[in-house]
Structure 1
Amino acid sequence: MGCTYELSQTAYIKIVLHALKNPSSAVNGILLGRPRTYYIMEILDAMPVSHSASNFYSPFQIALYQTEEQCYHPRQLNVVGYYHANETYDDCKLGPAACKHVDQMFRHSWLSAVLLLDHKKLHHLIKENDGDPAVMLFTCGISRTPCLQAGPEAKDELVLKEPSAHALLADYIASKKWLEIVDFEDHLNDITKDWFNPNLFK
């Protein structure tokens, strides 16, 4: 029996908005959540980290530390995974830089989720406003290699926690909500910008 990863609309929308704000760059971030049962992992929030390939590694380590320090005690959330969006439309693979972070997540927990944005599916969702989430799920495979969970042979599955997620996402895209999202790299350039994005959905 595999694990079901329940992706909240808050986490899902933040992943998409982060990618839309930086359409010509790869982006990455940290997934927060908690196990609900032994077989169900809730992914409740996403922390946008970086959008610059030249700064991909070091900001992530600092952001990971800050996330662990500031999110566990007040919100009782743990780091449960990593998300990534490639810079090119048809690239659906995890590159070497992303795999470094993936390996770190799998060392932390073999239940960690890795979500890769599918730009083609996102484009379809924007037009049709339905369907499965526009992210692909990777989980820990042999020797901690990321294993894509898709099709009838998948042992793990990804589901959206709220059915309203796509409709809400469409509204945010129409209003260009992506302009408001801040990642950790933005925060390093201007410390007045809060990369925890407390007012993003208010």
Structure 2
Amino acid sequence: MGGESRYEIKQEAYVKLALHAIKYSTSAIDGILVGRLLDAGSVQIVDAVPLSHSQIGLLPSLELALIQVEEHFGAQGLSIVGYYQANERFDDDELSGSARRIGDHIFRHFPLAALLLLNSKNLEALLKGRGKLPILQLYTRDSSKNWRKAETGTEEMTRLTLKEPSANSILLDYVSTEKWRDIVDFDDHLDDISRDWLNSDLFQ
């Protein structure tokens, strides 16, 4: 089933996770993907919730974040549909063990769960106007319960599409105005609970 699924990511989620990675460019970062099932094999990723920029996969804070995300977005008819991560090392484009474990947990509740790994090299090229390669690599679970990459240059790359084609232009606009400074992740919220982990005012 996972091999046939399609994923559409909305502009807000795409920009938010990219800004999270830009703000903490020298750290590993991660977050939760929230969305809905459009049909039997199609998932729409509506929002991204930045989680961490320090201790990726730390169980107590992760569990607390998952509970709050489920409560908030569940009231809107949305579910946790996946997880995203950017690695600490610029040249590291491999999915980490912690990402796979968190993905396994989400998969138990949402069998079309997606893992998105941000490619730092492609993001940098995009920001410098030198590249148009996708900044996100999609992984889904196969029938052997392994997380499998949708290989670049194959039909499977079309399994992850941007809802709004202008998303990269919007991202560049936000970067030019240093909007990435305003991103709050769950780590920041735990340090100061007055900071909004939902980033409600980010796009206003």
- With the length of structure 2 as denominator, give the TM-score of the two structures: 0.92
Pairs aligned (count): 201
Shift of 1:56: 3.1
Provide Cα deviations, 1:32-82, integer angstroms capped at 9, x if missing partner.
000112222100100001111277332111101111011111x21111000
What SS does the aligned partner of 1:169 have?
helix
One-letter code aligned to 2:87? N
Provide Cα deviations, 1:86-140, integer angstroms capped at 9, x if missing partner.
0111101112222221221222222001100001111121122773531000001
Give the distance between the partners of 1:182 and 1:41, measured in 2 at CA.
Answer: 26
Instruction: Check conservation: 1:133, 1:160, Cα contact below 8 A.
Output: no
Matched, 1:92 2:96: no
Shift of 1:145: 1.7
Give the distance between the partners of 1:3 and 1:177, measured in 2 at CA.
Answer: 33
Instruction: Check conservation: 1:3, 1:156, Cα contact below 8 A.
Output: no
What SS does the aligned partner of 2:32 have?
strand
One-letter code aligned to 2:5? C
Give the distance between the partners of 1:129 and 1:16, measured in 2 at CA.
Answer: 17
Moved more, 173-182 or 120-129: 120-129
Matched, 1:34 2:36: yes
Instruction: Check conservation: 2:27, 2:53, Cα contact below 8 A.
Output: yes
One-letter code aligned to 1:119? S
- With the length of structure 1 as denominator, give the TM-score of the two structures: 0.93
Cross-structure match for 2:140:
139
One-letter code aligned to 1:85? A
Cross-structure match for 2:196:
194
What SS does the aligned partner of 2:128 have?
helix
Cross-structure match for 2:107:
106
2:154 to 152, 155, 166: 152
Instruction: Check conservation: 1:2, 1:155, Cα contact below 8 A.
Output: no
What SS does the aligned partner of 1:23 have?
coil
CA shift in 2, pair 1:55/1:41, >3 Å: closer
Give the distance between the partners of 2:74 and 2:146, measured in 1 at CA.
Answer: 27
Give the distance between the partners of 1:104 and 1:51, measured in 2 at CA.
Answer: 20
Cross-structure match for 1:178:
180
CA shift in 2, pair 1:4/1:129, >3 Å: farther
Instruction: Check conservation: 2:29, 2:56, Cα contact below 8 A.
Output: no
Shift of 1:162: 0.1
What SS does the aligned partner of 2:173 have?
helix
Q: Which runs of 5+ in 1 are unaligned?
A: none
Give the distance between the partners of 2:56 and 2:85, measured in 1 at CA.
Answer: 15
1:22 to 21, 24, 36: 24
